């Protein structure tokens, strides 16, 4: 835990990262971006952390960028802000740990971008989303031009980005942005459960799976090659030896990430 805009809490091998600026609907302020980047970097180096949950304090996930502090005509400031969130999105997508989003209330603008960058999304039925950047005279950012088409498909992503409309949790689930729609108020509990399920798997296998998903093969031949190369390495790990022994001995495997 901390007194800053981001709170951390460990639930076993799952680390919960809570965006904690509720009076501003957890807007992605510059200090919050910095703390989120540092927390993700630290989690990736912590052997005791096997999965992450990202959520928001209060009634909302995130209202997106902090409009009141957005620079006007200051290119250097604008680039600094964008570089910070770019680092955060890259760590979410390309980092070795699975990331589950727990969404309640609004996740709009860059809030939608953060959701789209997570591996698995649990959301309350009343949650809402939207690439509403155009209302401010801006284009989508925080990786949304890449993550949204991969989540919902090129056609739906194009329509959402061009129209900039708000849409609810039920539509987000139909589109594929949300993986699991739950009763309002229960998203965090369910998200932690899903993260714990992921954390029980072998860390090296999880990291390899995330790496392949972040840069997916573009042909069957490439997929087969990537799978072969990766799997040969997995056969040599201590985790595979443990997993095989646990399977044969009918017990729960104790993976160490080696």
* 3 state SS for 184-222: CCCHHHHHHHHHHHHHCCCHHHHHHHHHHHHCCCCCHHH
- Domain count of the chain? 2
In a domain, 116, yes or no: yes
In a domain, 235, yes or no: yes
Q: Do 26 and 131 fall into the same domain?
A: yes
Q: Do 22 and 148 fall into the same domain?
A: yes
**Residue 225 domain boundaries:** 203-248
Q: What's the whole-model pTM score?
A: 0.92
Write down the H helix ranges in the chain.
30-44, 75-94, 110-117, 144-152, 154-163, 169-175, 187-199, 203-214, 220-235, 238-248
Which pLDDT does position 256 carry in this prediction? Answer: 86
Q: Do 184 and 207 fall into the same domain?
A: no
Q: Do 168 and 208 fall into the same domain?
A: no
pLDDT in tens, 106-149: 999 999 999 999 999 999 999 999 999 889 898 999 999 999 99
HSE value, Cβ hemisphere, 13 Å, CA-based, for 20: 13
Integer Cα distance of 8 and 39 in angstroms: 8
Q: Do 157 and 58 fall into the same domain?
A: yes
Which CATH number belongs to the domain containing residue 71 in this structure? 3.90.226.10
pLDDT in tens, 80-92: 888 999 999 999 9
């Amino acid at each position: 835990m901390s007194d800053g805009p981001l709170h951390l809490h460990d639930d076993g091998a799952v680390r919960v990262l809570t965006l904690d600026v509720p009076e501003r609907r957890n807007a992605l302020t510059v200090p919050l971006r910095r703390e989120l980047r540092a927390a993700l970097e630290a989690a990736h180096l912590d052997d005791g952390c096997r999965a992450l949950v990202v959520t928001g304090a209060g009634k909302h996930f995130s209202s997106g960028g902090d409009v009141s502090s957005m620079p006007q005509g200051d290119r250097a400031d604008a680039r600094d802000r964008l570089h910070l969130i770019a680092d955060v999105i890259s760590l979410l997508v390309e980092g070795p740990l699975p990331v589950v989003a727990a969404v309640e209330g609004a996740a709009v603008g860059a809030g939608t971008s953060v959701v789209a960058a997570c591996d698995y999304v649990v959301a309350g039925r009343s949650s809402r989303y939207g690439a509403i950047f155009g209302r401010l005279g801006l284009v989508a950012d925080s990786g949304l031009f890449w993550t949204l088409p991969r989540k919902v498909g090129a056609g739906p992503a194009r329509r959402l980005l061009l129209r900039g409309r708000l849409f609810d949790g039920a539509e987000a689930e139909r589109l594929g942005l949300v993986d699991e729609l739950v009763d309002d108020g229960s998203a965090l509990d369910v998200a932690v459960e899903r993260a714990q399920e992921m954390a029980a798997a072998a860390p090296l296998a999880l990291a390899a799976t995330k790496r392949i998903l972040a840069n997916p093969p573009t042909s069957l031949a490439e997929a087969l090659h990537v799978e072969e190369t990766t799997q040969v390495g997995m056969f040599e790990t201590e985790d595979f030896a443990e997993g095989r022994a646990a399977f044969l001995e009918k017990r729960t495997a104790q993976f160490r990430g080696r």
